[in-house]
Amino acid sequence: MYTYQYPRPALTADTIILSRDEAGNRVVLLIRRGGEPFAGSWALPGGFVDEGETAIQAAARELEEETGVKLDSPDLLAEIGFYDTPSRDPRGWTVSVAFCVDLPTMPPAKADDDAAEVQWHRLDNLPPMAFDHRKIMDDVIEVLTAES
């Protein structure tokens, strides 16, 4: 067993699922957190990467666990970036990799695992969000704006 002189961060993965509602508005699937930290706050589906899995596998797994949305393949997810502001998670030093997929239709979603609720939100009317998830969404919106 190795011992390390330096602290190491925990690794998490967050998933941005985009689609369009019936009126053609861009929407994102958010969860309402069931537990601390930020219980009751809206957040992106996501969580800790398990030992032996990649960040992209964790993103797809957490999405399915929290929302019931199962992707045909984790490879549908595109990496948006990584987020490592030291104070982003009150539980400690956590680095997150964010992934995104734009689906042609809104899949049905149901809260499960540590999500108390799931809901589609318009990108132009996002609620306050936990962690640094608003920063992640701002980055996604910036990319979408540049593409259009």
CA-to-CA separations, 93 to 10, 13, 51, 86, 100, in angstroms, rounded: 6, 14, 17, 6, 23
Q: Half-sphere exposure of residue 5, counting CA atoms within 13 Å on the CB side?
A: 0
Instruction: Say which residue the tokens 């919106």 belong to.
Output: 141
All domains of the chain in start order, with CATH: 10-147 (3.90.79.10)
Q: pLDDT by residue for the chain (148 residues), tens digit each?
A: 778 899 899 999 999 999 999 999 999 999 999 999 999 999 999 999 999 999 999 999 999 999 999 999 999 999 999 999 999 999 999 999 999 999 999 999 999 999 999 999 999 999 999 999 999 999 999 999 998 8
64 is catalytic: no
Please pick, among 64, 117, 142, 147, the residue that the annotation labels catalytic: 117
pTM above 0.75, yes or no: yes
